[in-house]
């Protein structure tokens, strides 16, 4: 069951004004924030935030300082041209994440037509020929790709159809994108673990985060280990087959001879798979092994002990996707990339390094 989404005051005002525009009750010129605030009985700063959102969607057109915003001609509650936005998820379960639900909601609110394609990034992998066939078969104006492989993102960057990379290694590609930069969070987390006596620190992340080269955040993890005097090897950032069976085989190998004293999982799904593995073997957290999850999860608020994790403001990604769609719908070439900061949130799943098992 997805969470109930509570609209902010600004979002409610934006929705009200969007409806008035669609009905033709507002046209030509949008009244100023102060005038609207008085009419609606809200703070003028709230109205200004709502107007900025409608401007980002392409419903309003800025005319310069101290001039009223224009209402874009031909608008009927939709962006100038509602886009068919094909979304390729990393894996099917990602459709239930809060930020993907929010992205789909906001795109629909802006008048676009978001939908999920049947294939996902894990299925496509590095097979660009298969990707090309998929894109040819799908009736879409633009593509939103969640955590695509380097090969997938390179393919889209080399084609004319606009695409947006949500996460993934797109840094030097000519493509719009948004991702979290966890470099500083990894640095903070590793240094805290080292200060607690940990040296056998392992990062468990999908193979695409290591091949053909580690991502920025993963490289920061390795660099911090080196800076702390730990000689880095494949042990600290192991490869595994990207399946449930492959993940558990790697866990068995890790704990067979030289068990880690601290593990960082890149995703909540890996964290969720790791915990029962440890429990079945009587490995205690944090007495025997410290755990950190590289993603936030709403369930963490109810956990005891609290879960050490990384956290980022996903609204930054959501807003950037909506802004990208608004620009493309107006015929603009929009390929801006943004990198949101991630913070390390300490929790009860980390503690001093034990003597090992």
Shared domain check, 147 and 212: no
Does residue 55 fall inside a structural domain? yes
For residue 137, the enclosing domain spans: 84-179+313-340
Q: Label residues 258-286 b or e (16+ Cβ within 10 Å = b).
A: ebbbbbbbbbbbbbebbbeebeeeebebb
Shared domain check, 165 and 190: no
Query: Tens digit of pLDDT for each residue in 27-36?
Result: 778 888 888 8
Query: Tens digit of pLDDT for each residue in 101-148?
Result: 999 999 998 889 999 999 999 999 899 999 999 999 999 999 999 999
- Residue 28 CA to residue 22 CA, distance in Å, equals 13
How many domains, in total, are found in the chain?
A: 3
Degrees, nearest 5: CA angle 9-10-13? 90
Does residue 220 fall inside a structural domain? yes
Shared domain check, 147 and 40: no
pLDDT of residue 121: 94
Query: Tens digit of pLDDT for each residue in 16-65?
Result: 888 777 667 777 788 888 888 888 888 888 888 888 888 877 778 877 66
Shared domain check, 137 and 123: yes
Does residue 78 fall inside a structural domain? no
Shared domain check, 41 and 16: yes
Shared domain check, 317 and 169: yes
Does residue 233 fall inside a structural domain? yes
- The pTM score is 0.74
- Residue 244 CA to residue 95 CA, distance in Å, equals 19
């Amino acid at each position: 069951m997805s969470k109930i989404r509570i609209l902010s005051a600004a979002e409610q005002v934006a929705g009200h004004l969007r409806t008035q525009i669609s009905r033709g009750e507002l046209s030509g010129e949008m009244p100023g924030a102060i005038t609207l605030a008085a009419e609606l009985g809200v703070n003028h700063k709230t109205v200004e935030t709502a107007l900025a959102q409608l401007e980002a969607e392409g419903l309003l057109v800025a005319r310069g300082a101290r001039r009223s915003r224009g209402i874009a001609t031909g608008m009927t509650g939709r962006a100038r041209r509602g886009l068919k936005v094909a979304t390729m998820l990393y894996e099917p379960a990602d459709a239930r994440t809060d930020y993907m639900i929010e992205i789909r909601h906001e795109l629909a609110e802006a008048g676009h037509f978001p939908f999920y394609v049947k294939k996902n990034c894990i299925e496509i992998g590095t097979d660009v020929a298969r990707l090309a066939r998929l894109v040819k078969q799908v009736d879409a104006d633009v593509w939103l790709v969640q955590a695509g492989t380097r090969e997938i993102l390179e393919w889209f960057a080399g084609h004319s159809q606009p695409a947006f990379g949500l996460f993934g290694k797109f840094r030097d590609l000519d493509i719009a994108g948004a991702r979290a930069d966890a470099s500083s969070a990894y640095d903070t987390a590793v240094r805290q673990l080292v200060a607690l006596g940990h040296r056998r620190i392992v990062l468990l992340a999908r193979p695409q985060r290591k091949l053909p080269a580690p991502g920025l955040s993963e490289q920061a993890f390795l660099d911090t280990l080196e800076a702390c005097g730990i000689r880095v090897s494949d042990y600290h950032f192991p490869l595994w087959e990207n399946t449930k069976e492959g993940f558990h085989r790697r866990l068995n190998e890790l704990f067979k001879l030289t068990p880690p004293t601290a593990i960082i999982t890149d995703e909540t799904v890996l964290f969720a798979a790791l915990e029962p593995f440890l429990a079945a073997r009587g490995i205690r957290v944090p007495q025997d092994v410290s755990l950190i999850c590289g993603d936030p999860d709403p369930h963490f608020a109810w956990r005891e002990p609290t879960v050490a994790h990384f956290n980022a403001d996903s609204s930054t990604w959501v807003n950037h996707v909506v802004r990208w769609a608004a620009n493309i719908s107006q015929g603009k070439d929009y390929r801006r990339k943004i990198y949101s900061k991630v913070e390390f949130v300490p929790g009860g799943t980390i503690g001093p390094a034990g003597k090992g098992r």
